């Protein structure tokens, strides 16, 4: 009953930017027709999916929740969304998100905050953040507005919102899902993945979304494994690594308790626990907040008022003025902050001091994980250092916001598959997530470990 949401309540969540019921109905009708004709149903026949507004959808407005893309209607379909439609799914609508996927609370959207359907049990009525950047996806799935949604994860944007709203979400190995037609944030990190109620639904959705795509130069030329069929909650013989550096200063007791609970569940399922060390963990967040803005500043150079979305052309203005006016008006403050940081760390005088250093750190972090795989098969950590915070609580303090990504960013830098599954509730009745990080291409191991503890 807790999950029955009235239409008015559903609208108040502000999870959807565009509603496309006709698309979902067409998929459902096609599924009915196939069933009546006795045909074998496609894996997602008639399933209504919410699409994060970072995926270009042909004929349907796509904005990345930025004013600069208002009115942009793609003439092409992203590979990931096309794969879902080919598997029989239909689109319920486009989901709100942090602008250009930059944020951890969905508060950087140009189209209003998304609200989490959860409330604290202390009687306070504060609206809580659904996490970000895939906050429309997490809120919609948690409120049961759709059985599954797409997300993208550059530094945690599938996993942290999943953790905040008590759902599951997996970021596959970098390269599993094509980036073609997905609006770019930081290309060396961006990965699509599913967000759903449970691990099994994530496996089913990921199978449909993933696959080699010649249109993405970093797409992995590999078959998509049968993850759903391979699901097993039996972890006999599995070695679960606990990275000691994730026990960060000031981590709330509840998060530590959640982690211990996760360890106990893993043991019950047959796993053995080993302590491992990932010595460069503390450098991951600063490295990420150099590399991601650097790539973003380059990717976002294309929004010039000429090719997409809005154009601000002051009377008598020249080309430079048009660029400046369009970008000043079109980008939100967090996006501008990232562009400023990115252009600074890439500039001639500072490149070696920041960008080159961050790239070296990235290599060291990847090596930390490689060394860990000598003694364990998956890693178990909390997904985020806190439960959902209230809207407005961190929005004035970018550093506090960035710190929320401390556990999700390292695996992103290393391109590893990682998942968040619900781990229980805190004292205020809010969901907490446990993160499982896997070896490259071992989504199966990650999903199985997730199944054992969900
Ligand atoms: N919160 C992180 C950021 O703001 C991660 C975002 C993401 O994964 N898209 O960059």
Give the per-residue pLDDT at 437: 98
Do residues 141 and 168 make contact, with C-beta atoms less than 8 angstroms apart?
A: no
The Å distance, Cα 426 to ligand 1 centre, comes to: 24
- Compute the distance between CA of residue 163 and CA of residue 388 in angstroms, rounded to an integer: 8
DSSP characters over 321-376: HHHHHHHHHHS-HHHHHHHHHHHHHHSTTTTIIIIIHHHHHHHHHHHHHHHHTTT-
Residue bearing the CA closest to ligand 1, atom 10: 102
**Residues 204 and 197 sit within 8 Å (Cβ to Cβ):** no
- In 3D space, the residue among 415, 426, 414, 402 whose CA is nearest the CA of residue 160 turns out to be 402
Ligand 1 atom with the smallest distance to the CA of 158 is 8
- Ligand 1 atom at minimal distance to the Cα of residue 292: 10
d(CA 119, CA 100): 27
Q: Which two tokens stand for residue 384?
A: 């985020």
What is the SS3 assignment for 438?
strand
pLDDT digits (tens, 9 = 90+) for 293-341: 999 999 999 999 998 899 999 888 899 999 999 999 999 999 999 999 9
pTM of the model: 0.97
232 is catalytic: no
Contact between 112 and 94 under an 8 Å Cβ cutoff? The reply is no
Cβ within 8 Å of residue 203, ≥6 positions away: 227, 228, 231, 447
Domains of the chain by start residue, with CATH = 10-233 (3.90.1300.10)
Active site residue 226: no
Helix (H, G, I), strand (E, B) or coil at 423: strand
Q: Which residues contact ligand 1 via a Cβ below 6 A? A: 101-104, 133, 153-157, 185, 292, 405
DSSP string, 74-115: -SS--HHHHHHHHTT-EEEEEEP-SGGG--SSSTT-TT----
CB neighbours (10 Å) of residue 150? 30
Distance CA 381, CA 105 (A): 21
Q: Is 133 a catalytic residue?
A: yes
Q: Which of 81, 157, 386, 395 is catalytic?
A: 157
pLDDT for residue 4: 60
Strand pairing partners for 241?
274, 379
ipTM over 0.90: yes
For residue 2, what pLDDT is reported? 53
Place of tokens 């905040």: 164
Mutate-to-test residue for ligand 1 from 155, 336, 401, highest number of ligand atoms within 8 A of CB: 155
d(CA 266, CA 272): 8
Question: Tens of pLDDT along 209-261?
Answer: 999 999 999 999 999 999 999 999 899 999 999 999 999 888 899 999 999 99
**Rounded Cα–Cα distance for residues 127 and 105 (Å):** 12
Name the closest-CA residue to atom 5, ligand 1: 155
Residues of the chain with pLDDT under 50: 1
Read off φ and ψ for residue 170, nearest 5 degrees.
Answer: -125, 135
Query: Given the CA of residue 103, which atom of ligand 1 is nearest to it?
Result: 4
């Amino acid at each position: 009953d807790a999950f029955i949401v009235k239409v008015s309540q559903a609208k108040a969540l502000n999870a959807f930017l565009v509603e496309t019921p006709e698309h979902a109905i067409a998929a459902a009708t096609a599924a009915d027709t196939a069933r009546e004709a006795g045909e074998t149903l496609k894996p997602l026949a008639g399933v209504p999916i919410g699409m994060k507004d970072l995926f270009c959808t042909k004929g349907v407005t796509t904005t990345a929740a930025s004013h600069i893309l208002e009115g942009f209607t793609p003439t092409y379909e992203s590979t990931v969304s096309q794969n879902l439609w080919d598997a029989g799914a239909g689109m319920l609508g486009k989901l709100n998100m942090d602008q250009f996927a930059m944020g951890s609370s969905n508060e950087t959207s140009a189209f209003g905050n998304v609200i989490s359907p959860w409330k604290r049990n202390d009687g306070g009525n504060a609206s809580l953040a659904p996490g970000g950047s895939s906050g429309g996806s997490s809120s919609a799935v948690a409120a049961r507005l759709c059985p599954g949604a797409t997300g993208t994860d550059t530094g945690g944007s599938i996993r942290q919102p999943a953790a905040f709203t008590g759902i599951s979400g997996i970021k596959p190995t970098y390269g599993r899902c094509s980036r073609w037609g997905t609006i770019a944030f930081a290309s060396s990190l961006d990965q699509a993945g599913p967000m759903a109620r449970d691990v099994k639904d994530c496996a089913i959705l990921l199978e449909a979304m993933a696959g080699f795509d010649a249109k993405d130069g970093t797409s992995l030329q590999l078959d998509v494994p049968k993850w759903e069929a391979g699901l097993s909650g039996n972890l006999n013989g599995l070695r679960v690594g606990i990275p000691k550096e994730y026990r960060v200063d000031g981590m709330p007791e509840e998060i530590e308790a959640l982690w211990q609970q996760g360890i106990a569940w893993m043991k019950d399922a047959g796993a053995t626990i080993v302590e491992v060390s990932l010595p460069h963990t503390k450098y991951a967040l600063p490295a990420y907040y150099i590399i991601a803005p650097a790539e973003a500043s380059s990717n976002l150079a294309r929004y010039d008022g000429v090719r997409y979305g809005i154009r601000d052309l002051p009377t008598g203005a020249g080309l430079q003025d048009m660029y400046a006016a369009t970008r000043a008006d079109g980008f939100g403050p967090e996006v501008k902050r990232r562009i400023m940081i990115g252009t600074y760390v890439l500039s001639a005088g500072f490149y070696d001091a920041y960008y080159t250093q961050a790239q070296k750190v990235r290599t060291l972090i990847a090596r930390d994980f490689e060394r860990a795989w000598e003694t364990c098969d998956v890693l178990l950590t909390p997904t985020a250092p806190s439960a959902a915070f209230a809207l407005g609580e961190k929005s004035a303090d970018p550093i506090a916001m960035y710190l929320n990504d401390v556990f999700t960013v390292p695996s992103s830098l290393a391109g590893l598959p990682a998942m968040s599954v619900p781990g229980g509730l805190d004292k205020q009745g809010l969901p907490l997530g446990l993160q499982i990080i896997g070896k490259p291409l071992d989504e199966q191991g990650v999903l199985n470990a997730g199944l054992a503890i969900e």
